[in-house]
Structures are given as C-alpha cells and as structure tokens.
C-alpha cells in the first residue's frame, strides 16, 4: 500500500496495490500487519456500511470521550467527497480540514484518527460507503459540528442548499459555537 501524508498530521490517504488481469482486479483492502507497520498499531472492532443517493451529506460526526473512534473509510460503489475536520483544542490546525474523493475506481481509503469530525457528500447517483472503527458505536456519545458551516471553507462539490440531511445533522452547532471535548494532547490512535 502507498500511504499519502496530508497537510494535517494523522490524516492519511491510502492507495492499495491493485493487481489486474483479464478477469478483473484484486487488492488487499485491509491488512492489520501492513496498517500497524505503515500507519499505526490499531484494533478495529466494528465495520459499518451505508448506502446513499446523490446529494446526501452525512456528518460532521464524532464520538465524545471515552467512546472516541478512529475510522478507516472507503467507497466501494460510486463516489463521495470525504472530509475530516480537526477539532482538537489547541491544535495548530484546529478548524482546518482535509477532503479526498473516494471512489469505486480509485479504491482510495482515508484514515481519520480520534480528535477529528468526519463527514461526506455523495457525488454519484448512489454510493456504498464502508468504514472500520476502533471503538464501538455509543449513541450517548454522539457529537457533531454543522456540515453546512461555510466558515470551514469546504467545497462539497454539491450545493449544500439542496443537500439531503438527516434531522440530527441539521441540529449540529457551527464550529464557532462548539466546545470541543478534545484537546491537542489526545492520543490519536487509542
């Protein structure tokens, strides 16, 4: 696998080594041994999948301590713009984001450690999105910042005014009104 560093420490893009022949393609979508060696030691405990249509925006989500999560995300059908926002108080990159297009053609994955809010916008007719988490889902620890927060400077590549959002995602605060449960000293990986 090829690991691509981003402008924000901890956020990395992963490109798998793809083997193609007349039958199609093959690649390892995850190897604990390779991940631990090239990114960080981690124990993923839960896999999730969602299916969404064009214009759906999900996020920007996180789980509050002690239920924080790191995520390894990918799009197995269609295309999404995936975004992680640094929400660690005291971080030199607080409020900044990294956006990456994940598609069924580029097979890229995006690793989002603890201390970041995460969301995506569906760019294709439909998209099937999968992600691994290193902590179990805890509904009482749900948190988020508004995906429609223009001060974040995210170009979602769809018109947010016409986005399809869950009721929950319309209630998240703007970053300026948000009191982050994370600080710069959070252990990103465990």
Mean pLDDT of the chain: 94
Measure the CA–CA gap between 88 and 186, rounded to whole angstroms. Answer: 8
Catalytically active residues, by annotation = 61, 131
pTM, two decimal places:
0.94
CB-based contacts of 107, cutoff 8 Å, min separation 6: 15, 16, 18, 27, 29, 74
The 3-class secondary structure across 9-46, one letter per residue, is CCCEEEECCCEEECCEEECCCCCHHHHHHHCCCCCCCE
Query: Residue 73 — φ and ψ, nearest 5°?
Result: -115, 155
pLDDT of residue 161: 85
Q: Is the pLDDT of residue 10 over 80?
A: yes
The tens digit of pLDDT for each residue in 75-119 reads: 999 999 999 999 999 999 999 999 999 999 999 999 999 999 999
Question: H/E element holding 127?
Answer: strand 126-133
With tokens 């999560």, the residue in question is: 69
How many residues in the chain? 190
pLDDT of residue 141: 96
pLDDT bucket at 62, cuts 50 / 70 / 90 = very high
The SS3 call for residue 52 is: strand
Q: Which residue has the higher pLDDT, 25 or 141?
A: 141
The 3-class secondary structure across 56-117, one letter per residue, is EEEEEEEECCCCCCCEEEEEEECEEEEEEEECEECCCCCCCEEEEEEECCCCCEEEECCCEE
Question: H/E element holding 169?
Answer: helix 167-170
- Residue 1 and residue 17 in contact, taking contact as beta carbons nearer than 8 Å: yes
Q: What is the CATH number of domain 44-183?
A: 2.60.120.10
Measure the CA–CA gap between 5 and 14, rounded to whole angstroms. Answer: 9
- Domain boundary assignment for the chain: 44-183
pLDDT of residue 187: 78
């Amino acid at each position: 696998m090829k690991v691509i560093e981003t402008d924000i420490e901890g956020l990395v893009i992963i490109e798998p080594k793809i083997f193609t022949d007349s039958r199609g393609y093959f690649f390892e979508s995850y190897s604990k041994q390779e991940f631990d060696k090239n990114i960080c030691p981690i124990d993923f405990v839960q896999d999730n999948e969602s299916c969404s249509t064009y214009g759906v925006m999900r996020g920007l989500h996180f789980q509050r301590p002690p239920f924080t999560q790191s995520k390894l995300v990918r799009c197995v059908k269609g295309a999404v713009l995936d975004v992680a926002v640094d929400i660690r108080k005291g971080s030199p990159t607080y409020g900044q984001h990294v956006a990456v297009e994940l598609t069924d053609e580029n097979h890229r994955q995006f690793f989002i450690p603890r201390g970041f809010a995460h969301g995506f916008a569906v760019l294709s007719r439909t998209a099937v999105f999968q992600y691994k988490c290193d902590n179990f889902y805890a509904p009482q620890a749900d948190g988020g910042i508004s995906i429609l927060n223009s001060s974040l400077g995210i170009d979602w590549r769809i018109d947010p005014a016409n986005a399809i959002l869950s009721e929950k995602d319309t209630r998240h605060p703007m970053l300026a009104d948000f009191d982050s449960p994370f600080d710069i000293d959070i252990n990103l990986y465990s």
